[in-house]
């Protein structure tokens, strides 16, 4: 099977002929992935932010089986069903009171596409077709579909191959103020200048609240997000918050925007929505936006085949119930405290530039670019699964991880980074 995979199956951001062998996972339970040789390794990535409850969760398995006995899918055009209605009720209850409408889609990238369409249609339906651009941020990441790519970092992002065909948007300097920084207006100057110069053609601002994810794992001050909101209101520009990675408790708040007490016009959620079981996302917005879109008899022009898939919605309902009834705030706070204490030892390594932590997110930034050919087998040898990128070694474990399991994970980070430093020094001296 691995040979077939290597010859025929494409993997994320990887060449058709992989540079290294894939790890073959046979099963997963709790925080562990079991490999073909029987070795169990701790998943420090929560399968890219999504598996907040761990794997093979009885409550989610039960919800899936119960829904399968009824129907796994039905089109959403002209039809509705209980799992979607219950999920919409819960999401609207736990999110900002300004958000009153919800659009379900099948991935985070598509939820961003829907958000961009909402912003464009809101202005164009009222006769202002000049507002056709989005103001985004350098170092931002919002997905891999075309609209989403157009608001990702255009310089150091992953989508430069498509520059010629992407919609040309406007970009402001990424947030440079640390989470606990004393606020200074200099941090927002570039954003304000871009908004002042181009507000007549800007439909919306899009930003990842508090944590810029795949663009660099930057954790910034809530005061920055608050000033973004204030300026959007001042210049009559909509505010889109991309909570796909940060939503559902990852930063210590249910939604990261709660750190800044802002009122968004549109919010995108996904990843952890189903606890990592199935792909499902949602775009939440206000009555004002929907009424604006529907001016002059228009409707929002989007409709995925698997919109509000009943099976995914049923599992999402069970996942949210499990989350909300759990002591998730205490769990995330304990993870944060342990990460801050145990990752601090990485600062003693010369190759480490900075360590930063927020909620259940731990980031070790290196002075050197990482090397997957080195890191992947080294981490597996240590009994953990960690997937570095750029110059970042980062973890976001499931919320259910125990103190001892997390200690194993943070110790592995330190030892592998230490080994990488020795490896780099030897390699550089050989050259």
Give me the count of residues in the chain.
Answer: 431
13: annotated active-site residue: yes
Characterize 315-327 residue by residue with b for buried, 16 or more Cβ atoms within 10 angstroms of its Cβ, and e for exposed: bbbbbbebbeeee
333: annotated active-site residue: no
Backbone angles phi, psi at 27, to 5 degrees: -165, 170
User: Which entry of 133, 139, 253, 271 is annotated as an active-site residue?
Assistant: 271
Cα 313 to Cα 86: distance, rounded to the nearest angstrom: 8
Beta strand ranges found along 279-320 (DSSP E): 281-285
- C-alpha distance across the termini of the chain, in Å: 38
122's tokens = 């809101």
Rg, Å, the chain Cα set: 22
User: Which entry of 32, 138, 141, 414 is annotated as an active-site residue?
Assistant: 141
242: annotated active-site residue: yes
User: Which entry of 106, 153, 242, 265 is annotated as an active-site residue?
Assistant: 242
Half-sphere exposure of 117 (CA within 13 A, CB side): 17
Cα 234 to Cα 239: distance, rounded to the nearest angstrom: 12
Task: Answer for the pair 275, 249: CB distance below 8 angstroms, yes or no.
Answer: no
271: annotated active-site residue: yes
Q: Which of 396, 344, 375, 418 is nearest to 217 (CA)?
A: 396
Coil/strand/helix, residue 317: helix
Question: What letter does residue 12 receive in the DSSP assignment?
Answer: T
Provide the annotated active-site residues.
13, 141, 242, 271
């Amino acid at each position: 099977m691995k040979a077939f995979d290597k010859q025929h199956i494409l993997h994320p951001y990887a060449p058709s002929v992989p540079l290294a062998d894939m790890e073959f996972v046979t099963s997963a339970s709790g925080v562990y992935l079991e490999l073909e040789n029987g070795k169990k390794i701790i998943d420090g990535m929560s399968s890219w932010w999504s598996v907040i409850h761990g794997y093979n969760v009885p409550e989610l398995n039960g919800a899936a089986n119960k829904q399968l006995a009824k129907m796994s899918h039905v089109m959403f055009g002209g039809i509705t069903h209980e799992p979607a209605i219950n999920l919409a009720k819960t999401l609207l209850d736990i999110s900002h009171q300004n958000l009153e409408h919800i659009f379900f889609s099948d991935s985070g990238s598509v939820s961003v596409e829907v958000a961009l369409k909402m912003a464009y249609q809101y202005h164009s339906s009222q006769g202002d077709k000049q507002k056709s651009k989005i103001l985004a941020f350098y170092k931002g990441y919002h997905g891999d579909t075309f609209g989403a790519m157009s608001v990702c970092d255009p310089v150091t992002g992953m989508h430069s191959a498509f520059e010629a065909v992407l919609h040309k948007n406007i970009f402001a300097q990424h947030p440079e103020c640390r989470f606990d920084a004393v606020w200074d207006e200099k941090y927002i100057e570039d954003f304000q200048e871009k908004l002042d110069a181009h507000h007549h053609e800007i439909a919306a601002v899009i930003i990842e609240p508090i944590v810029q994810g795949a663009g660099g794992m930057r954790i910034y001050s809530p005061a920055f997000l608050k000033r973004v909101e204030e300026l959007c209101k001042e210049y009559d520009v909509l505010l889109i918050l991309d909570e796909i990675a940060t939503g559902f408790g990852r930063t210590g708040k249910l939604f990261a925007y709660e750190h800044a007490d802002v009122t968004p016009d549109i919010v995108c959620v996904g990843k952890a929505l189903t606890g990592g079981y199935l792909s499902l996302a949602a775009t939440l917005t206000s009555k004002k936006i929907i009424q604006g879109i529907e001016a002059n008899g228009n409707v929002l022009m989007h409709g995925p085949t698997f919109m509000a898939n009943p099976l995914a919605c049923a599992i999402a309902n069970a996942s949210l119930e499990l989350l909300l009834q759990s002591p998730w705030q205490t769990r995330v706070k304990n993870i944060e405290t342990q990460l801050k204490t145990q990752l601090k030892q990485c600062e003693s390594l010369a190759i480490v530039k900075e360590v930063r932590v927020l909620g259940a997110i731990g980031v070790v930034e290196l002075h050197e670019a990482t090397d997957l050919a080195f890191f992947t087998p080294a981490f597996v040898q240590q009994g953990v699964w960690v997937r570095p990128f750029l110059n970042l070694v980062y973890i976001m474990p499931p919320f259910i991880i125990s103190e001892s399991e997390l200690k194993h994970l943070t110790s592995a980070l330190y030892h592998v980074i230490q080994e990488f430093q020795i490896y780099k020094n030897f390699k550089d001296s050989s050259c």
